[in-house]
Structure 1
Amino acid sequence: MTCKIEVEFSRESKEALDEISQKKDMANALSVFIGMSAMIDIFAGNGVIGSSYKISTTDFELLAKSMRSSNPILIRQVEDISARMYLKSSISNQEKVFWRCLYNEM
């Protein structure tokens, strides 16, 4: 199911969509930061032997899990924003349909 609803968003809904966009950008940046910090830890100033040791002792499975950890957090935040917006009495019924659909998609 996808949320294909024609709706003109109010100022409040537009602000909520901007908030979701910012949170998505921050989650992506967090994933990149985690990966880059691991690479810096492995290669920065360690030389060949030190880097080889760091590569052999780095738990890349755990690193991948930590890089993906921002996604469930983002999903929960989008659910919270969607629920909050659905409960607002100041938005139109079409907006409520959109926010309910978005919440259910998460």
Structure 2
Amino acid sequence: MKECPIDGVRFGASSKKAISEMRDMSKRANWLSTALAGSILSDIFVKNGPIGASYKIHTTDFELLGTAMAASTPILRRKASDLAGSMILLHSGSLNNQEKKFWRCMYNAIK
């Protein structure tokens, strides 16, 4: 992934808000993966004896679980790319030159 230098960039209010939104999106994507894994483990082991747990393990599609957990990353990248693009297009008038370069770099790095 390409790096986007932020040395000396002074972010305005709209950029700070967008960066905060990106952090929140990342936290939610991580939470989603954790919750999904936790729910499967709970389904397998909670209130199941050894035979029930063994059956649940045998019948659980772990490949599908892995695919579902990995799906949050492309969604996060797309949402972050959309946000960076909107900063370039919709907020260009309120951004300084350094911020514009940063958001263009972010858009190109994560698209």
Q: Place the TM-score, normalised by the shorter chain, in its bin.
A: over 0.9
Structure 2 residue runs without a partner (length 5+): none
SS at match of 1:3: coil
Q: 1:83 and 1:92 mapped to 2: Cα distance?
A: 16
Q: How does 1:8-23 map to 2 (within 5 A)?
A: 8-23=10-25
Q: How far 1:4 sits from its partner (Å)?
A: 1.3
Tell me the number of residue pairs that the alignment of Structure 1 and Structure 2 aligns: 106
* Distance (Å, rounded) in 1 between the aligned partners of 2:6 and 2:49: 56
**Counterpart in 2 of 1:73?**
75
Note the 1:1-106 alignment, pairs <5 A.
1-6=2-7, 7-87=9-89, 88=91, 89-106=93-110
TM-score, structure 1 as length reference: 0.96
**Alpha-carbon distance in 1 for matches of 2:31, 2:6:** 30
Distance, in Å, in 2 between the alignment partners of 1:73 and 1:5 is 25
Identity level (%): 48
Mapped partners of 2:45, 2:3: distance in 1 = 44
CA RMSD of aligned residues (A): 0.8
Q: Secondary structure at the match of 2:104?
A: helix
Task: In structure 1, list runs of 5 or more residues that go unmatched.
Answer: none
After TM superposition, where is structure 1 displaced by more than 2 Å over at least 4 residues in a row? none
